[in-house]
Structure 1
């Protein structure tokens, strides 16, 4: 096919064949009847057929298409089907036995084919594609090219508008379709850049048969039981051609860019996956991004052309939006950056730079020692959030220079000061430069020969044959455009000196980049350490994956961690956690750190008390009495005894022992779907199958689990369901009465914490407490999760029910992370335990724990955290409740204050739990900078229990991101 024919083909509208005409073709030539649904295509016409014999696709293309090309497609489908590597459609024979018909329909010559239908869906409409799906596209592309490497057919030798070999000619021809001069100029410029990059590579690019359209339109997927996307097959072989192999991957990657949210690095998992199954040559890796840019230009030009000649083609018009987005993303970064990113992603590097011949940049300081200042995440210079102060890094460097004379930052050390709380975007924390604080007036000389340029921002740039040197903080002694020899004076230091190296004269590099772009930018903007004669590179950090492997090899693996591949978290501040690359994650699940992370009062109190004394509570010291008195002031009247322990599990275990001692019985009533701890006693009364899958089958005979009073999805629903749930308790008590067994007590969270903060039906605890006490039993309120002011309107959860328990257990936020738990009860119950011997907890009630416990209460009062839980928590719940009407997946919002639960369901009538969707949602929220985990027996509830310092801004960020993920689809 000549180029003129190519241009003609690129200007053709799709065939004009109505549904009725297509139905007639089916009946006449295939003996099929059924319903027809139009499928999108740019220049062909496709109908899905649902018939009594199954589901098929009727493909109609213009008679201008050469038969040999269509025959090549059929041969390719047969070849791939025999290989079995990739699932593809079968071609169905017509009643005359032919697999391809050329017909006249309404005076128009068309080619007609019938293929079987691959069930599933394309992913074009999805805004976000996960890492696994992106890698799946790349893997599929690599497997397809491997399978086709031995395939050949005369119909593959064709001139096709999508073939990258013709991109430059096609772009030049189609440019006039763009009316906007600015857009037209931009397309021409980037296309020319891509052409120049490709020119020296084309002779070395392998050639073979390729599909050339493995895109989100033409790959069919289905969700599995876990809601993960699974590949079903590949359709539409209309672009099958013999050309450069790498073109196939370039087409796939270009299609992925409209799902990239503006980030072209999204394609890297696809490149890695392709390379893993079908290794690419170095020249192909270099050619990939220029081909993607050229493809993007062709897409917008061809799309605009098709819309202009076929305005009724909805498919083409809708696709044009995607095509412009692909072009925008493909041209948003320098070509050199993406080339470096692709190479580094598969473990290849750019050529080494010869740095041995550098002359000193600061000759007068050669041999002088610099103070290298730690500005990283773990730096001792940072405390109490001072890294949030503007200019903190420069101030630390300046102070160090005042003391030591010379100070420098480290190249490549992730900067804590550049973290961005409450942001879905990766922060630019990786420095591609070194900042030096040296005496003003120090001479600066050219380390290599080059041409000097001065920029408007005051930067000096020396462009050499290999590298460019960018300097800030230098007063130039020469004019721009001057050619310098090595060692020639550039100027003198006039402030903090920024030193950055860049490969090539045309590239502009940022001073900081995001962690995901660090490897690529490092290749293009390498460390200036050799130029400075200063060992200023950051020490390599232990990466999260290596640390996790060490953990799994030594730390008992039954002690689980959040996420499959968790980031390494070593610092926190207020309601955020910070990884080693300086990214802040909104902490929405840490009800232990009630005051937030890194609170300076906690550090000061702990440090002070440790310096004085830390021992066990059998010694006589003031703190244990003072803290016990503080706790009793918070408890209901009549409670006058405190036990101090280390955790909620210990507190509940002790409460059970107290109930046994006070009642003389051993039988305990607990509630289904509840969790009370991990000790033998606390685990015995825990019935949550989310925490222990064998919980219901492994209860000892002294534990009697009653129906969970879940007013949302329980056996009885609504606020008036208390009598129905009380009957379950009555039935168990009646059996104990019949067996003449003494009841020990009843343990229950007064707000259903493990189910996401569901309120018990009004009156439930009042009636149950009456029945339990009437039998000599003890009523235990497990306030470990929901108590201590977290609920906002109530300090204790049992206040919502209008009852007073006999025993209160608590822990979690009491110590803001210090192991601290407590049991509060009455004197007669406490003393009943004495008959069994004395009670002792080695570290429970230690001076450090008591002082921290009191400091927590002080800070909660001073910073008005209970009020914050009430006010911001109310705003939080209102915003979450607004999602119910917007997104069918959101079934209900439970709880109050800073103990909330969002329950996700698949069906509003059946309340089928959306378990898998909840897991996917939590994983996606993590990508957006939020830590969240599921809870409940079906793991379909977002248990939201952040530090009580959480702000309105953080709340809004969380809800906005939750809505974003729900909008993306799960």
Structure 2
């Protein structure tokens, strides 16, 4: 290899051509004039040209570069135009007809070219790229390599500093540029290890023409109407070369690492997408990570060198931060792990281990029965949050050993004890080992021949030709460095025994890993079951995708689920939900579970009452009377009758029937953008197009929607908008009266829950209630979402408006998840229904439901949850409101207590709803460990309604993650 040429090329600063000189070149040789804007480049000079004839890119590079190489780039562009769907720039000929000009500017030779400008933006400035974009980079790389596979040109045989084949020589030359001894030693070490891995593979790597710079700098994208990134094209073919095909993907993956948030597994969707389109050979898959590491080192060294010789180059200086981050992430995990991860991502695996048969590790216990202790998410041993106690797993194992003699954990069973509430970090719940409780003094023997070591206190390691076994809790019988034959005594058990099996000793394996890394770590640290003679592997759980397919095949799809690919949730605790891999998600959705999930009082009360009696309310038992009395104590003094039902929909449906019976009419007023339930009656008065896209044109003739009193984005805005909204009510009442029809009533949420907890304009309900009652109608307060103390400052939503309704409907939080709803009213209204026959709900007011309902009230009082909603909820709103001044997307914060709405907008003047951004934000929050969903007719509001046990810690986590996502850009 011509090393001198390589070093010379790597040491060149960019050409010195001013904007004025570039304008003269453009006008003199291309007949174009326009505005020029400098574009970043490490060694070239690029200008964007905005002219009357279109947009172009003027590229100027040093005359030292071979014209043949530039001609190869042009030929490659023409080839891609014929063989690839991906857009690439066209070369614009000069007046002379040449597509390449070699000129002299101020005594320096330069090459000049003019290319099309592809509209769009690079993504290098974004901290986070969604998985779809990561996969898009990989797919693009695969498409380009397929299209260039049969392209050839003499100019491709070039000496290029970025060509991985020359990396070792370039790195050796540039390494002295790093002045810090530790940094220099780190780079030298990782490069040496990568080179050692690559060496046996290089002769097996396919060679072809590749772009070799498909990065976040050189691929342009645009957002579509749904705010999804769409690929526009590829630019900058300056690194086009004939070399190892896999180098192209390594360059792309390396560039993605500075968006990875420190996680090298982030690149795997790109690898999968490339391989699905353009299958990689086994040698290429094994070479990919060493090439990424090498690329990271070259980026840092080249960047540091370029800044040193061209300190005014802001592009190079700005990129250095990214380049160091790429190197940090690329060296953060063992290379063996990434090789296993890459293979697993494309459905392949490491070579199998030759099994000559292991000697038993614990020969004295062969044939003895172990108690295998369930430490997983659904374990019956875990209750009421006891898994949060330090050392709970070991305590359960010790207790089992006391009873059964021998006990063991299961390899690969996700551990509930390692979940992390209020954390964006994926928890390391997957055990790569087995824990055993066996009698002290039990002999431990070598399962294979090897050398024994003690790399750390209480750790004994036996290294064989292929495998290493790592043991904790063993007192060795031999000195470190001793060679053992298979079956020789290693030592004796002196404490809880931990056994881990690994492929060699070249990496330091953790005892636990995260679910996303489990497949890769399993390949490196397989189950030690064969050594133990114990069937201790975890049983395979039904994955979320398979479960979802089963659900869709039997459960009517009209019953929607959150998210396109929801995790499987089987456990909850307080204000968190836990998936089958032990990840905790902050629950910001569940206004049903007011006491939180898994409350022990609910379990005890339900169990006790089920053991006694559960029947219907036509029988005479104490609970139905006691619960009704307690509900009336919480209600206005004028109310003295309670109906108990199963849900909010049923409660609202019954309330409408009561209004019909009492008034003698059927016509109902309801508010636009509202949701009241799914029964025929409740659905009829529901007008939310988010819940029913046909809501506005499918209401029956007895329903009269009035203008939504939304003082933030409604037809009339501000605190003084009340009279304008009341006029809509007056207009509808006049129409009903003009048709000689009797008004039945008016139903409304006293706080606009479906729109994110927006307060109604001051005095609105007072005026509307007076108008409705004047025409013989009844006023229904739908408190299903906002009532029962959730708002913090008041128990019922109607208290904020200073009114008393005729009928209150309630459900959701009344039963903390038990189907339970209520209609509370006056005697004369309740008894009006008797003329139509008696009312009955089979399960409404059952003994179990009533006991649970009373227990909910007890716990809310004992645990001061109403006070928590006021204090922590008030703090919550303050933190959310602080985002308004920082993030333009946040338009307003509605509500109070634990019923809040964050409204996202694109323009603070027009209040254009940020619908697509809200969807993207919710999806991103889920990745960070938070369940959140949009609401409102435009689905641009975060409806925040968590369990009322939500803590200040959870509030801070939510707001911090929300701020993080907003800062990432949506």
The aligned counterpart of 1:366 is: 366
The aligned counterpart of 1:502 is: 502
Rounded to whole Å, the distance in 1 between the matches of 2:930 and 2:228 is 21
Rounded to whole Å, the distance in 2 between the matches of 1:266 and 1:393 is 31
Following superposition of structure 1 onto structure 2, how do residues 543-622 of structure 1 map, counting pairs within 5 Å? 543-622=543-622
Rounded to whole Å, the distance in 1 between the matches of 2:856 and 2:268 is 47
Contact 2:574–2:595 (Cα < 8 Å) also in 1: yes
User: Matched residue of 2:696: which SS?
Assistant: coil
The TM-score normalised by the length of structure 1 is: 1.00
The aligned counterpart of 2:420 is: 420
The aligned counterpart of 2:728 is: 728
The aligned counterpart of 2:745 is: 745
Contact 2:84–2:143 (Cα < 8 Å) also in 1: no
The alpha-carbon deviation at position 645 of structure 1 amounts to: 0.2
Deviations 1:95-140 (A, max 9, x none): 1111000011111110000000000000000000110000000000
* 1:139 counterpart = 2:128: no
Rounded to whole Å, the distance in 2 between the matches of 1:371 and 1:266 is 39
The aligned counterpart of 1:959 is: 959
Gaps of at least 5 residues in structure 1 are none
The alpha-carbon deviation at position 507 of structure 1 amounts to: 1.6
Rounded to whole Å, the distance in 2 between the matches of 1:308 and 1:100 is 30
The aligned counterpart of 2:927 is: 927
Rounded to whole Å, the distance in 2 between the matches of 1:170 and 1:92 is 34
Contact 1:355–1:530 (Cα < 8 Å) also in 2: no
Rounded to whole Å, the distance in 2 between the matches of 1:148 and 1:436 is 56
The alpha-carbon deviation at position 887 of structure 1 amounts to: 0.3
The aligned counterpart of 2:287 is: 287
The aligned counterpart of 2:122 is: 122
Following superposition of structure 1 onto structure 2, how do residues 36-435 of structure 1 map, counting pairs within 5 Å? 36-435=36-435
The alpha-carbon deviation at position 86 of structure 1 amounts to: 1.6
Deviations 1:505-531 (A, max 9, x none): 212100000000000000000000011
Rounded to whole Å, the distance in 2 between the matches of 1:396 and 1:542 is 26
The alpha-carbon deviation at position 854 of structure 1 amounts to: 0.3
Rounded to whole Å, the distance in 2 between the matches of 1:351 and 1:908 is 59
Contact 2:587–2:947 (Cα < 8 Å) also in 1: yes
Rounded to whole Å, the distance in 1 between the matches of 2:926 and 2:825 is 41
Following superposition of structure 1 onto structure 2, how do residues 475-554 of structure 1 map, counting pairs within 5 Å? 475-554=475-554
The alpha-carbon deviation at position 355 of structure 1 amounts to: 3.7
Rounded to whole Å, the distance in 1 between the matches of 2:953 and 2:357 is 53
User: Matched residue of 1:696: which SS?
Assistant: helix
The aligned counterpart of 2:803 is: 803
Rounded to whole Å, the distance in 2 between the matches of 1:657 and 1:579 is 42
Rounded to whole Å, the distance in 2 between the matches of 1:816 and 1:267 is 42
The aligned counterpart of 1:867 is: 867
Contact 1:576–1:586 (Cα < 8 Å) also in 2: yes
Rounded to whole Å, the distance in 2 between the matches of 1:85 and 1:963 is 38
The aligned counterpart of 1:698 is: 698
Contact 2:595–2:947 (Cα < 8 Å) also in 1: yes
Contact 2:300–2:320 (Cα < 8 Å) also in 1: yes
Contact 2:360–2:366 (Cα < 8 Å) also in 1: yes
Rounded to whole Å, the distance in 2 between the matches of 1:106 and 1:545 is 65
The alpha-carbon deviation at position 689 of structure 1 amounts to: 0.2
Rounded to whole Å, the distance in 1 between the matches of 2:535 and 2:738 is 82
Aligned length: 970
The aligned counterpart of 2:454 is: 454
Rounded to whole Å, the distance in 2 between the matches of 1:441 and 1:779 is 78
Rounded to whole Å, the distance in 1 between the matches of 2:426 and 2:731 is 56
Contact 1:85–1:144 (Cα < 8 Å) also in 2: no
Rounded to whole Å, the distance in 2 between the matches of 1:191 and 1:738 is 87
Rounded to whole Å, the distance in 1 between the matches of 2:523 and 2:248 is 27
Rounded to whole Å, the distance in 2 between the matches of 1:581 and 1:514 is 9
Rounded to whole Å, the distance in 1 between the matches of 2:780 and 2:26 is 74
User: Matched residue of 2:824: which SS?
Assistant: strand
The alpha-carbon deviation at position 350 of structure 1 amounts to: 1.1
User: Matched residue of 2:456: which SS?
Assistant: coil
Deviations 1:537-588 (A, max 9, x none): 0000000000000000000000000000000000000000000000000000
The aligned counterpart of 1:903 is: 903
Rounded to whole Å, the distance in 2 between the matches of 1:339 and 1:502 is 15
Gaps of at least 5 residues in structure 2 are none
User: Matched residue of 2:695: which SS?
Assistant: coil
The aligned counterpart of 1:913 is: 913
Deviations 1:677-734 (A, max 9, x none): 0000000000000000000100000000000000100111111111110000000111
* 1:14 counterpart = 2:14: yes
Rounded to whole Å, the distance in 2 between the matches of 1:766 and 1:188 is 77
Rounded to whole Å, the distance in 1 between the matches of 2:706 and 2:343 is 61
Contact 1:209–1:243 (Cα < 8 Å) also in 2: yes
Contact 2:84–2:144 (Cα < 8 Å) also in 1: no
The aligned counterpart of 1:653 is: 653
The alpha-carbon deviation at position 354 of structure 1 amounts to: 3.2
- Identify if the C-alpha distance between structure 1 residues 356 and 530 changes in structure 2 by more than 3 Å, giving closer, same or farther: farther
Contact 1:355–1:531 (Cα < 8 Å) also in 2: no
The alpha-carbon deviation at position 356 of structure 1 amounts to: 4.7
Rounded to whole Å, the distance in 2 between the matches of 1:86 and 1:641 is 70
The alpha-carbon deviation at position 84 of structure 1 amounts to: 3.3
Rounded to whole Å, the distance in 1 between the matches of 2:446 and 2:772 is 87
Rounded to whole Å, the distance in 1 between the matches of 2:638 and 2:798 is 15
Rounded to whole Å, the distance in 1 between the matches of 2:507 and 2:802 is 70
User: Matched residue of 2:400: which SS?
Assistant: helix
The aligned counterpart of 1:685 is: 685
Contact 2:122–2:220 (Cα < 8 Å) also in 1: yes
Rounded to whole Å, the distance in 2 between the matches of 1:677 and 1:175 is 69
After the TM superposition, which of the residue ranges 885-894 and 736-745 deviates more from structure 2?
Answer: 736-745
Rounded to whole Å, the distance in 2 between the matches of 1:39 and 1:71 is 22
Rounded to whole Å, the distance in 2 between the matches of 1:382 and 1:219 is 50
User: Matched residue of 1:720: which SS?
Assistant: helix
Deviations 1:886-905 (A, max 9, x none): 00000000000000000000
The aligned counterpart of 1:825 is: 825
Rounded to whole Å, the distance in 1 between the matches of 2:280 and 2:872 is 54
Rounded to whole Å, the distance in 2 between the matches of 1:889 and 1:491 is 64
Rounded to whole Å, the distance in 1 between the matches of 2:752 and 2:163 is 62
Contact 1:384–1:573 (Cα < 8 Å) also in 2: yes
Rounded to whole Å, the distance in 1 between the matches of 2:630 and 2:844 is 16
Deviations 1:335-392 (A, max 9, x none): 1000000001101111222345210101110100000000000000000000000000
